[in-house]
Amino acid sequence: MEQENTKVENKKGISFMKNVIILMCSHLLIKFLGLIYKLIITNVEGFGNTGAGYYSAGYQIYSLLLALSSIGIPSVISKLVSERLALGDKAGAQRIFKLALKFFGTLGLIFSFALFFGADFIGTVILNVPDTAYVMKVLAPAIVFVSISAVLRGYFAGQQNMKPTSISQTLEQFLNCVLSITFVYACIGKDAYIMAAAGNLSTTMAIVLTFVYLILYYRKNKIVPEIGQVSDERKKSNKELLKTILGISIPITLSSLISVISSVIDTATVSNCIQYAYRNAGMTKDALENLAMTNSGILSKIDTLISFPLAINIAFSTALVPATSESIAKKEYEVASKRLSFSVFTSILIILPCAMGFSALANPILKMIYPAASDGALILQLLSISMIFSALNQTINGGLYGLNLPRVPVTALALGVIVKTVLNIVLVSNPSINITGAAIGSIACQLVAFLVCFAALNKKLKVKFDLKKNILKPAIATIVMGVIVYITHYLLNLVTGNTISTIIAILVGVIVYVIGIIATKVLSKEEIMMIPFGTKLYKILLKLKIYQE
């Protein structure tokens, strides 16, 4: 009996990791495509940091309304659908989906109109840069389509099917990549804000085309209740069911909203505080606006870089919500605890070397990727620290949502954002600190949120953590990797130049880190078996006598 339970747990672990790997590959490809097109358009003549600033400023406001209408929805729908399916209630799962589709579709439509007709006011009054309105207007129609798509993705995730989410998001980014480059090049010679608006128009078009794919997929793969099956919750009215959905979605959406607000705070404080800081420098209003947008552009391009590792890590957060909800619904608390502990540990293994790599090679990486706009090495080094806590928060929050504790991430992030806002206003307004203050504020924000969320998670469901195995060994491997990477780049750069030496240094870093993790035996046999090709890898390690049966 005990052997059967172990087999079931291993099977569930492999299934969970399969979903994680699907999402991880998808998010990695998505961020790679995002990096490619932003790299290309940032280096286009006339775009640069200023164009990136306009692009980012308008997009952040769009993201704010998007958070209100859709961002937390996939997690909510996946949680509720997975709980119904775990109990065999297909009719209930389908009812939840249809009700959510109507409500959030309507909400998205309202926000689309609000952004389009309110763009001029936001650009003039809030951002103090009127031309950002063009970016917001071309993005406005996308909100309604994203809202409906979010419900569809949550619906499939609740069935433990991550393929449509991965395919649709990858397709969307591919189309966005191709169209952005095409539209920006078509606008060469025009003002930076026109080029930024053209680049964002591609986002709307890509979202609409991807929406069509999701609708076609749904028609062939929707849940079909058995004939005559009635939901266990049939006595609940639509109003009561919607109240249940909103009871979970509002805290999750607020958490997403606060996260977006954190980015908007950077945009708004940099835009206004930079202009305030240099108000007596004898610059015209147009020159001050361009300076503010240039600094915003530096933050934007670095956010693009650090979002790359976070995109890999977010797979755990996305997969944890339905997986944890299913385990809790079946009262399998030990399985839930193992998944959470393993996910947090894996996040550490992923994010530490990425942060060290950015810190050791900040200047070379920016020169390689953004040769026409390579400012911001110190900002990248600081935000790589913030990235560590962001990654851990992503994973922990996925567990908290699955454990019916959505209010904890909201509270934690709200506290963090309050700290960030104060630091931004004080530091960014100081000309000698400038946008470095925004990076310092981000570190403080994510650290505060992490401390609150981890304490709450550990209290509800014990996270099994070994200081030596989970912290010290990965840290040692990371430090050794960082030193070797820095030395490798320094020596090669004397001979080969920046680009080749940076690429080789990164590859050397990956190899050194993997060897360090294997040599220190950070992963147990059970954990190795859960990763792709784990069985073959473990046999090789046995032959090399690194591991022993």
pLDDT of residue 17: 59
213 versus 294: the higher-pLDDT residue is 213
pLDDT of residue 504: 95
Rg (CA), the chain: 24
Write phi, then psi, for 495 (nearest 5 degrees): -115, -45
pLDDT of residue 304: 77
Structure tokens at 462: 């014990």
C-alpha pair distances (Å), 16 with each of 7, 20, 106, 308, 322: 14, 6, 33, 22, 10
C-alpha pair distances (Å), 545 with each of 104, 521, 530, 549: 56, 12, 20, 10
Kindly tell me if the per-residue pLDDT of 479 is higher than 90: yes
Kindly tell me if the per-residue pLDDT of 462 is higher than 80: no
Structure tokens at 172: 């969307």
Calculate mean pLDDT across residues 10-35.
Answer: 64
Top-confidence range, 53-57, 85-89, 454-458 = 454-458
Contact 438, 417 (CB under 8 A): no
Contact 50, 294 (CB under 8 A): yes
Count, in order, helices (H) and strands (E) of the chain: 19, 0
Contact 353, 507 (CB under 8 A): no
> CA 419 to CA 268: how far, in whole Å?
16
Residue corresponding to tokens 């940091």: 49
pLDDT of residue 256: 64
333 versus 216: the higher-pLDDT residue is 216
Average pLDDT for the chain: 80
Contacts of 108 (CB under 8 A, 6+ apart): 69, 70, 143, 144, 145, 146, 147, 148
Contact 72, 252 (CB under 8 A): yes
Calculate mean pLDDT across residues 379-407.
Answer: 85
Cα 255 → chain centroid: 13
pLDDT of residue 491: 94
pLDDT of residue 4: 46
**Confidence band for 232, pLDDT divided at 50, 70 and 90:** low
- Burial tier of 415 (Cβ tally within 10 Å: 0-12, 13-18, 19+): middle
Nearest alpha carbon to residue 253 among 410, 379, 412, 367: 410
> CA 323 to CA 75: how far, in whole Å?
11
Contacts of 141 (CB under 8 A, 6+ apart): 112, 116, 204, 208
Rounded to the nearest 5 degrees, what angle is found at the Cα of 417, between the Cα atoms of 416 and 423? Answer: 95
* Segment holding 182, helix H or strand E: helix 163-186
Contact 96, 241 (CB under 8 A): yes
Contact 462, 337 (CB under 8 A): yes
Contacts of 263 (CB under 8 A, 6+ apart): 60, 63, 303
Calculate mean pLDDT across residues 433-461.
Answer: 87
Beta strands in 420-514 (DSSP E): none
What percent of the chain lies above the pLDDT cut of 90?
Answer: 17
pLDDT of residue 500: 93
Contact 501, 364 (CB under 8 A): yes
**Angle between the 73-86 and 90-121 helix axes, to the nearest 10 degrees?**
180
